[in-house]
Amino acid sequence: MARIVQKYGGSSVGDTERMKRVAQRVKQYSDEGHQVVVVVSAMSGTTDQLIAQAKELHDNPSEREMDMLLATGEQQSVAFLAMAMHGYGCKAESFTGAQAGIETDGVHCKARIKNIDPERIERSLEKGNVVIVAGFQGASEEELITTLGRGGSDLTAVALAAALNADVCRIYSDVDGVYTADPRIVPEAQKIDRISHEEMLEMASLGTKVMQARAIEFARNFDVELEVRSSETDEPGTLITRESEEMEDKAVHGISLDKDEAKITISRVPDTPGIAARLFQVIADSSVNVDLIVQNVSEQGYTDISCTVPEADLPRFETDLAEKIRTELNTDEITSDKSIAKVSVVGVGMRTHSGIAATAFQALADADVNIKMIATSEIKISCVVPLDDASKAVRTLHQAFGLAEKTSGDE
């Protein structure tokens, strides 16, 4: 008998027919004698719809009330799924995040899990129930309902797997695994069989939208092995697990693409010590997240600084933030560019293979893709390129690192 945590995404429970298929799948495991804890997302579209309705009532709704509202999406799914399970003669009980013992801090809309008290889940399992937990939510010490940020049901699943010491944690959705690149852009992209937490975290943060980045970070920190797979087939998916030596055999595991960033350039900034500190302090004070930063070689006492920020933050930047920077740095020349994309090459093998950056840059040059910015870490190289060249850049890099060929070590 194993203890299994399964998470089903919004599209996997998107209508009652799919809900029934999930119930049947869960029942199989329960019938085999396993203890099953199921985490579900809101039915697809529900969270977006609730947000849209809230915005019809107020431009900037209270975050406390948003949590109160959004948590209901997942509550619907758990109740429906429990009913479907009962319909198949399977014992099941649903719980909200708070009832499942998920305690968070009090930061509404992006709360962090502080502690999980799994006692109630344990008791329900002991009685022979399938336990169904509403994803994406918990409660603060003040007993206020909180949510864990968009895509947060993944985090619920990983955190419960850790707290319950589960043997298996599976994330079921409409994608059947993690691919070497987005198959819509690169048709010959391959499903990756095993990938390290670290690589998956980079890929998720760099635009691969298979799982919530915070959930993977949690999995890495608590050493939770998880598998991403399809809820419509029985095919194995991608195992996200602790790094092992053979993972380094291949220099590069995947190519990520992020089109949701914009580039900001502040020109003719006086080149004096402390200028970058002042600039980024102003930006940080307004909670805009900066990613890549490039400072140009200085000429005649002036320099240019460029950085990328989430495109969603651009309106805020263009209104008040640009003004603050003008005042703080005494410069007029601030421009923004939305037509960029960040293409990244990710792989733990970069630690031991050399020449990866040279290969990447040469391939992009041969494809006539102009690199506007570069950033590297131990296991990734990111290039900012013109948006129009984004797909070409992904295809070029995928080809340059031979990712379409499956290596035997991957099988």
**What is the contact surface with ligand ASP in residues (CB under 6 A)?**
10, 41-42, 47, 73, 135-136, 150-154
Smallest distance from Mg ion to CB 110, Å: 15
Partner from Mg ion, ligand ASP, none contacting 152, C-beta within 5 to 8 A by type: ligand ASP
Partner from ligand ASP, Mg ion, none contacting 237, C-beta within 5 to 8 A by type: none
Of 14, 73, 151, 152, the residue at the interface with Mg ion (CB under 5 A) is 151
CA dist list (Å): 106 to 69, 95, 138, 318, 407: 16, 20, 10, 30, 47
Partner from ligand ASP, Mg ion, none contacting 140, C-beta within 5 to 8 A by type: none
Considering the complex, state which of residue 7 and residue 250 has its C-beta at the smaller distance from ligand ASP.
7
- Angle, CA of 402, 404 and 409, to the nearest 5°: 80
Q: Which residues of 11-34 are buried (b: 16+ CB within 10 A; e: fewer)?
A: bbbbeeebbbebbebbbebbeeeb
Considering the complex, state which of residue 47 and residue 140 has its C-beta at the smaller distance from ligand ASP.
47
Smallest distance from ligand ASP to CB 74, Å: 6
Smallest distance from Mg ion to CB 219, Å: 15
- In the chain the first and final C-alpha atoms are separated, in Å, by 27
- Rounded distance between C-alpha atoms, residue 225 and residue 222, angstroms: 9
- Residues between 6 and 45 with contacts to Mg ion, criterion CB under 5 A: 9
Smallest distance from ligand ASP to CB 245, Å: 33
- Angle, CA of 266, 271 and 275, to the nearest 5°: 70
DSSP 179: B
Smallest distance from ligand ASP to CB 69, Å: 12
Smallest distance from ligand ASP to CB 50, Å: 9
- Rounded distance between C-alpha atoms, residue 329 and residue 331, angstroms: 6
Other C-beta atoms lying within 10 Å of the C-beta of residue 280: 15
Would you say 383 and 393 are in contact if contact means Cβ atoms under 8 Å apart? yes
Partner from Mg ion, ligand ASP, none contacting 73, C-beta within 5 to 8 A by type: ligand ASP
Considering the complex, state which of residue 29 and residue 136 has its C-beta at the smaller distance from ligand ASP.
136
Considering the complex, state which of residue 171 and residue 203 has its C-beta at the smaller distance from ligand ASP.
171
Smallest distance from ligand ASP to CB 101, Å: 19
Partners of residue 3 on adjacent β-strands: 35
Partner from ligand ASP, Mg ion, none contacting 14, C-beta within 5 to 8 A by type: none
Location of structure tokens 């995404």: 9
- Which residue in the shown chain puts its C-beta closest to Mg ion? 151
Smallest distance from ligand ASP to CB 91, Å: 26
Partner from Mg ion, ligand ASP, none contacting 47, C-beta within 5 to 8 A by type: ligand ASP
Does residue 349 touch Mg ion according to CB under 5 A?
A: no
Smallest distance from Mg ion to CB 151, Å: 4
Considering the complex, state which of residue 152 and residue 349 has its C-beta at the smaller distance from ligand ASP.
152
Considering the complex, state which of residue 15 and residue 119 has its C-beta at the smaller distance from Mg ion.
15
Other C-beta atoms lying within 10 Å of the C-beta of residue 156: 29
Q: Strand, helix or coil at 368?
A: coil
Partner from Mg ion, ligand ASP, none contacting 254, C-beta within 5 to 8 A by type: none
- CA torsion 75-210-199-157 (nearest 10°) is 20
Considering the complex, state which of residue 30 and residue 153 has its C-beta at the smaller distance from ligand ASP.
153
Q: Are strands 293-295 and 254-258 parallel, antiparallel or unpaired?
A: unpaired
Considering the complex, state which of residue 150 and residue 326 has its C-beta at the smaller distance from ligand ASP.
150
Q: Are strands 194-196 and 238-241 parallel, antiparallel or unpaired?
A: parallel
Stretch that binds Mg ion, among 146-154, 183-191, 234-242, 293-301 (CB under 5 A): 146-154
Length of the chain (residues): 411
CA atoms within 13 A on the CB side of 16: 4
Contacts of 114 (CB under 8 A, 6+ apart): 103, 104, 105
- Rounded distance between C-alpha atoms, residue 133 and residue 121, angstroms: 9
Partner from Mg ion, ligand ASP, none contacting 207, C-beta within 5 to 8 A by type: none
Considering the complex, state which of residue 41 and residue 190 has its C-beta at the smaller distance from ligand ASP.
41
Smallest distance from Mg ion to CB 85, Å: 22
In the chain, what is the greatest distance between 2 CA atoms, to the nearest angstrom?
79
Considering the complex, state which of residue 197 and residue 214 has its C-beta at the smaller distance from ligand ASP.
214
CA nearest 217: which of 203, 197, 195?
Answer: 197
Residues that bind Mg ion (CB under 5 A): 9, 151
